[in-house]
Amino acid sequence: MSPWWQDRTPQEVARIAAAGGVAVLPLAAIEQHGEHLPLSTDLDIALGLLAAALPQLRPELPICVLPALAVGLSLEHSAFAGTLSLSPETALAVVSELGERVAAAGFKRLVLFNSHGGNKAVVDLAALKLRAAHRMLVVRANYFRFTPPVDVLPVDELRHGLHGGALETAMMLHLAPTKVRVERIADFDSLGRRMAAAGTLLGAEGEAGFAWMAQDLNPCGATGNACLASAGMGARLVTHYAQQLARLLQETYDFDLSCLRDEIA
């Protein structure tokens, strides 16, 4: 049977929740990724990783995947045409209120599966709000925080190829090759890489990061060496991250909810 929430009936959703099921909310973005990748990049990657992860789950694992929240918090990309963004307040309200409806359906396990870095703060806040209000296990899952595969990409690229670099370009070459404008793939150097090379503690990300707009890091809006990407690399990355996502979903189902307490000692 389909794992998608919208394909179920009310009683089917209730039965999955009663069986200790896992609800998954995919969080993405519709935003610029340079001129070589489509606005749908984060959404395509989120759905592609889910499609690769779900068949790896134990057949008896009860799961419901909610419709993807395609538009997220993308203020850092708002200078570029085509980017859609909710305000921080609206984004937090939307995720929190969807979580409220998941709790109302009887679920105690919710995975917020995020494929866009700009959504991180929203995910963190919404997860804590839902935990406090409903004693739910709310998992904050960002694929870009999973341990990367060994020897697929240089460490420097993993650190500084934040947006439209080799990692995202490779996965798009595998998942949606017809959407990639291969003639526009390039090496998009970034302010963050140059600052790191100069040995500064301050940087775009890391130990002491500053709030940045995409054009601060590179005027074209992308950062990282997309020239390193290939469809084969993308297949390896998708396989790796999908395996970790499947493992996380199974561990969420196995988690002992008695560890979540309403009272303190």
- Divide the 265 residues of the chain into consecutive groups of 10 and give the mean pLDDT of each group: 94 97 98 98 98 95 97 97 98 98 98 96 97 96 92 91 96 98 97 92 89 96 97 97 98 96 79
Residue 39 lies inside a defined structural domain of this protein: yes
What was the pLDDT predicted at 262?
82
**How do residues 222-241 score in pLDDT, each as one tens digit?**
999 999 999 999 999 999 99
What was the pLDDT predicted at 180?
98
Structural domains counted in the chain: 1
Kindly report the CATH number assigned to the domain that includes residue 255: 3.40.50.10310
**How do residues 148-166 score in pLDDT, each as one tens digit?**
998 899 999 999 999 999 9
In the structure encoding, which two tokens stand for residue 110, read together? 């919710």
Residue 170 lies inside a defined structural domain of this protein: yes
Contacts of 66 (CB under 8 A, 6+ apart): 5, 6, 23, 24, 25, 26, 98, 102
Mean residue pLDDT across the chain? 96
Q: Which of 46, 9, 32, 85 minimizes the C-alpha distance to 172?
A: 46
Residue 264 lies inside a defined structural domain of this protein: no
Quote the domain boundaries for residue 114: 5-259
